[in-house]
């Protein structure tokens, strides 16, 4: 499997039965395809939907309903739609159990930068959308991203260099190489991907990693 699928599969293992979950664009949305059997989650989309179908087959979608990634979907029995004010009241009110978001950078303190890239001197790509609300409103923040950029530079840093979306909010980081937990002690290496060694993860990571005994293989 490719890196994106591996990350999405591992992220889906964090879903707990009955959770209200918000999924960001990209890899996080893919996680909906791998929800473990027997686990039911209530998906919330920031554009104003609660309890919609995780994966909708082509031809079965409701043409009037789309999630926050503009993917056609269907509302499940008991689900609802509402305006943005209500949607963000749900997020800011602490009613989202977990959010899975992508990132450009994340660091060992749990800081996350997931919205701004420099386009030219003094100019940045536009706004972060609802990410800042989700990062401070969700009970658990799971960050999914590829471990390094196209030049092989680590995205798991000692300190973020890009403008932050939120500070000290990330609970768990999942990449194609490892699972890392942000703790008061620092960044703890919890799992390694199949075929990946602890030394390989350390070599690809700028952040200081804490290793406590043998590190198990990723749950997929």
Active site positions, annotated: 46
If you write DSSP's letter for every residue of 88-106 in order, what string do you get?
Answer: HHHHHTT--SEEEEE-SEE
Q: Which residues of 38-50 are buried (b: 16+ CB within 10 A; e: fewer)?
A: eeebbbbbbbbbb
51 to 24, 38, 61: CA distances (angstroms): 16, 16, 15
- Say which residues have a Cβ less than 8 Å from residue 153's Cβ, sequence separation at least 6: none
Can you count the helices (H) and strands (E) in the chain?
5, 17
What are the backbone angles phi and psi of residue 186, rounded to the nearest 5°? 140, -160
């Amino acid at each position: 499997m490719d890196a994106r699928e591996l990350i999405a599969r591992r992220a889906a293992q964090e879903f707990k039965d009955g959770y209200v979950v918000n999924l960001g664009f990209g890899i996080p949305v893919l996680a909906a395809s791998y929800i473990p059997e027997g686990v039911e989650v209530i998906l919330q989309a920031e554009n104003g939907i609660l309890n919609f179908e995780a994966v909708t087959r082509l031809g079965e979608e409701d043409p009037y309903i789309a999630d926050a990634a503009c993917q056609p979907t269907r509302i499940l029995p008991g689900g609802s739609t509402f305006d943005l004010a209500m949607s963000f009241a749900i997020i800011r009110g602490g009613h989202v159990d977990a959010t899975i978001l992508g990132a450009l950078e994340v660091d060992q303190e749990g800081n996350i930068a997931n919205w701004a890239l420099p386009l030219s001197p003094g100019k940045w790509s536009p706004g972060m959308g609802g990410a800042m609300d989700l990062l401070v409103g969700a009970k658990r923040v799971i960050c999914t991203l590829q471990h390094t950029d196209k030049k092989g530079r680590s995205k798991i840093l000692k300190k973020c260099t890009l403008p932050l979306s939120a500070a000290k909010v990330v609970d768990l980081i999942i990449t194609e190489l490892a699972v890392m937990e942000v703790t008061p002690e620092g960044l703890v290496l919890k799992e390694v991907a199949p075929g990946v060694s602890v030394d390989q993860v350390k070599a690809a990571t700028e952040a200081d990693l804490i290793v406590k005994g043998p590190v198990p293989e990723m749950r997929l």
